[in-house]
Structure 1
Amino acid sequence: MDNSKSTIPYSLRDLVIYFLKLGTWGFGGPVALAGYMHRDLVENKQWISEEDYKEGLTLAQLAPGPLAAQLGIYMGYVHYRLLGATLAGLAFVLPSFLMVVVLGFIYVHWQGIPWMQAVFYGVGAAVIGIIGVSAWKLTRKSVGGNKLLIVIYITAAAYTVWQENENIWLFLGSGVFYWLLKAPPTRLTFPRKGTVMTKLLAPATLLNITNSTSGKTLWQILLYFTKAGAFVFGSGLAIVPFLYGGVVKEYGWLNEQQFVDAVAVAMITPGPVVITVGFIGYLTAGLSGAGVAAFGTFFPCYLFTVLPAPYFRKYGKHPGIRAFVDGVTAAAIGAITGAVIVLAKRSLVDGYTIAIAVLTAFILWRSKKIPEPVIIVAAAGIGLLVKTIS
């Protein structure tokens, strides 16, 4: 725990309750969740400093695994170290995990969920409005009028729209580029043992395993989803193509329609989008499969956050490191903005969905009194109504 405990403006219990609520009501995927954490923890509650948030966002972008979960784990680490990181991560993931398990049970016993597509029709459009506003606020806060950061931001956004994916080398290159221009190195001293990259890459080496070690389904699920959590960079949506190749093509655990439904479940439930692995695991091997898949996916991202975190906190205030963080942050927010555009192309398919997205953005822009869950419920109702009468 932090030595300056008396100066921490919140208790560990407060932190756990916050992440339980965020995991229960936090719709919109990694973009919106990162925006919620900034709004709540940095701007409104002022529990976390802007610098600590930016360090956490940078680490979440640099390391493989789901961005929102890693950012939440880092927020817990800031003042309460390993215990805070552990409890914050569990509190954030548990509510949505329980939801997808329940939905998996319903799905299996009701032979599909056609109503979910109707719900997603409306919810998906509202989500675009939510994450669009979140991306704009993050851009204005972290990029501002800095011309160099604007160039990095636009480049990352354009690349994300073009490739429909995120590139770790673009983030690293942006950090190095801004560092060399704003705070060129004179002499940097880092610890000889246990550098950040060493700590960051060590678990990846340990997790470099294959699926041929056992024929048992649960063991295969554990190994496969551990690799998914350990080697897929970017936001939660970046894991979808990787999962499709293994779950549908390689192992045949799900068919095409079941996989599409699994992604839909992840998008209409709160919390991290990667929680779709719980639904996939349940359809493959029941409750045990759901638990194994979720553990395999989230444990690597937990390690990739808590192991390098002490070095980020110790050296993060160095001018060169701060410049690097600023460059990576600008690229990360650019990628988030690009992801909004990519998702909008898929979710805004007609006049109704465009209207829902625009109305959602307008409401959030003009009023802070209407919570997102209310908008999500209303959008779900509109989606069901439109699909019923059309």
Structure 2
Amino acid sequence: MTRPLEPSAPLHDISLAEATAVWTRIAAQSFGGPAGQIAVMHRILVDEKRWISEERFLHALNYCMLLPGPEAQQLAIYTGWLMHGTRGGLIAGSLFVLPGFLAILLLSVVYARYQETMVVQALFFGLKAAVLMIVLEAVQRIGRRTLKHPLLWGMAGGAFAALFFFGVPFPLVILAAGLIGYVGSQVRPGLFAGSGGHGPSAPGDAAAPALITAETAPHVTPSWERALRVLGTGLAVWFAPLLLLGAQLGFSSVYWQQAKFFSQMAVVTFGGAYAVLAYIAQQAVETFGWLQPGEMLNGLGMAETTPGPLIQVVQYVGFLGAYRAPEGLSPLAAGLLASVIATWATYVPCFLWIFLGAPYIERLRGNQALSGALTAITAAVVGVILNLSLWFALHTLFGHLQERQFGLVQLDLPVWRTLSLPTLVLSVVAGLALFRFKIGTLPTLALSTALGMGYVFLSRSL
């Protein structure tokens, strides 16, 4: 007997059209990184609509935290699938990405075509300073939640040292952390107990009725037959268009390079966008030449100020890489195609992870080995983000860096005479706004951008 790919008939009367309208509303409000995005979903789905119980919501979030990729978008896919099957998951996950895709596409076009103009230079001058502090704030926030034992502090420090001093590839750092956590959870389980995720800080009203609970949620009985069908379909949808593109435009083209690179990133992006940005920036700048060093901060500034996952910055990276080497297409057409490639390779795997793994969520929840691996990876991510913040700081505050080799250690040391004092001052102001006055990410970005634009216009007029 063939087992269904879809959940059993919904035990609710929520129409797909009504759910689509709510997912559109959630997507339009999905600012503030994963914490803010998950909080928006929790407020609307759990507290306001009471479509899903608190227990079921957190159950799904725990599973999404185990996966590579943006956990907020995966939570949207899972919840949509739970309510309306594959169609619901596709709609929820796609709508979650669409506003950010359109916004960053527009900003990428503006940046690529008008970056030499004073207005655009002034806009991104202030953004860079704020983004530096936002990344540092992410280090503090994740570290405070995660590093609850000296061993985890040591793992964070080891991850930073491996990346900054020895240039160990990011995927190897994540793999090593996961293996340590997996083994360590068997030897000393107390040291690798789950440390929580990005979930909402305040629980919903547990006594309020919800349409979907742990008891009433529809489900699919897991089986090898179903898993193989979902895996085969998902891999075909993921890679078939990319392979066709490579066959048409050449497997040495920038488009195929981006298809491979961003597909690889989709598999190793544990810990969210901040954790992998340093690796993406390093490869985009030093290996492929798609960006200049300081330009990654511009892209992160775009992602911070638009709705959707922060990992959407990969679209900006792909756009500029193809825009500058269009290989037979017009620059704008090349940038648009690369934007679609980067977005496709980043998010299609998220649908596969959810549709494949959701039926096993009860078995995964509370699994000691998986929880230990996730805890160790999250601790390593603190070191990874610290490396990212230092990399960004060096390339933003200094006009030139000098590469020096000390045995096995290779460092990019700043040339102090190239220090940008205005950028340093703006960074200090942004840091005070975030850490001292706690005014929030978007107001800090707005303040820093306004001050930066004012400085640029004033200095050019004198």
Q: Residues 25-78 of structure 1: CA distance to partner in whole angstroms, max 9, x if unpaired?
A: 55xxxxxx3454466667999778667546434422xxxxxx4xx333212133
Aligned to 1:59: 67
Task: State whether residues 52 and 78 of structure 1, in contact with CA within 8 Å, keep that contact through their aligned partners in structure 2.
Answer: yes
Aligned: 1:267 with 2:336: no
Aligned to 1:223: 256
Unaligned runs of 5+ in 1: 27-32, 61-66, 249-253
Aligned to 1:214: 248
Aligned: 1:90 with 2:94: yes
Aligned to 1:352: 422
Task: Give the whole-Å Cα distance in 1 for the aligned partners of 2:437 and 2:40.
Answer: 16
Q: Structure 1 pair 329/42, CA: closer, same or farther in 2 (3 Å)?
A: farther
Q: Structure 1 pair 341/51, CA: closer, same or farther in 2 (3 Å)?
A: farther
Q: Structure 1 pair 77/114, CA: closer, same or farther in 2 (3 Å)?
A: same
CA drift of 1:300 comes to: 2.6
Alignment length, in residue pairs?
355
Aligned to 1:147: 150
CA drift of 1:84 comes to: 5.6
Larger radius of gyration: 2
TM-score (norm 2): 0.62
Task: State whether residues 157 and 337 of structure 1, in contact with CA within 8 Å, keep that contact through their aligned partners in structure 2.
Answer: yes
Amino acid aligned to 1:170: V
3-state SS, counterpart of residue 67 of structure 2: helix
After TM superposition, the structure 1 stretch with the greater mean CA deviation from structure 2, 293-302 or 81-90, is 81-90
Q: Structure 1 pair 121/5, CA: closer, same or farther in 2 (3 Å)?
A: farther
Aligned: 1:386 with 2:455: yes
3-state SS, counterpart of residue 326 of structure 1: helix
1:342 to 391, 395, 418: 391
Task: State whether residues 226 and 297 of structure 1, in contact with CA within 8 Å, keep that contact through their aligned partners in structure 2.
Answer: yes
Task: Give the whole-Å Cα distance in 1 for the aligned partners of 2:281 and 2:424.
Answer: 24
Task: Give the whole-Å Cα distance in 1 for the aligned partners of 2:43 and 2:437.
Answer: 16
Q: Structure 1 pair 2/18, CA: closer, same or farther in 2 (3 Å)?
A: farther
RMSD of the alignment, in Å? 4.4
Q: Where in structure 2 are the equivalents of 1:193-342 lying within 5 Å? A: 194=227, 213-215=247-249, 220=253, 222-232=255-265, 233-234=268-269, 235-244=276-285, 248=289, 263=296, 265-270=298-303, 271=310, 272-276=312-316, 277-281=318-322, 284=326, 285=330, 288-309=333-354, 310-311=356-357, 313-317=361-365, 318-342=367-391
Write 1 or 2 for the structure with the bigger share of helix: 1
Taking only the aligned residue pairs, the percentage that are identical comes to 15
Task: Give the whole-Å Cα distance in 2 for the aligned partners of 1:199 and 1:161.
Answer: 39
Task: Give the whole-Å Cα distance in 2 for the aligned partners of 1:307 and 1:225.
Answer: 20
Q: Residues 257-311 of structure 1: CA distance to partner in whole angstroms, max 9, x if unpaired?
A: xx66864652331342212123555564355434421221122332322323343
TM-score (norm 1): 0.71
Task: State whether residues 266 and 273 of structure 1, in contact with CA within 8 Å, keep that contact through their aligned partners in structure 2.
Answer: yes
Aligned to 1:181: 184
Aligned: 1:172 with 2:175: yes
Task: Give the whole-Å Cα distance in 1 for the aligned partners of 2:45 and 2:321.
Answer: 36
Task: Give the whole-Å Cα distance in 1 for the aligned partners of 2:154 and 2:233.
Answer: 28
Q: Residues 310-361 of structure 1: CA distance to partner in whole angstroms, max 9, x if unpaired?
A: 4373442222222222222222233123322222222234443334333333
Aligned to 2:75: 75
Task: Give the whole-Å Cα distance in 2 for the aligned partners of 1:354 and 1:39.
Answer: 33
3-state SS, counterpart of residue 29 of structure 2: helix
Task: State whether residues 101 and 279 of structure 1, in contact with CA within 8 Å, keep that contact through their aligned partners in structure 2.
Answer: no
Task: State whether residues 155 and 177 of structure 2, in contact with CA within 8 Å, keep that contact through their aligned partners in structure 1.
Answer: yes
Q: Residues 172-202 of structure 1: CA distance to partner in whole angstroms, max 9, x if unpaired?
A: 22222222222359xxxx976759xx88995
CA drift of 1:12 comes to: 6.0
Task: State whether residues 174 and 331 of structure 1, in contact with CA within 8 Å, keep that contact through their aligned partners in structure 2.
Answer: yes
Unaligned runs of 5+ in 2: 1-5, 47-53, 189-221, 270-275, 304-309, 399-419
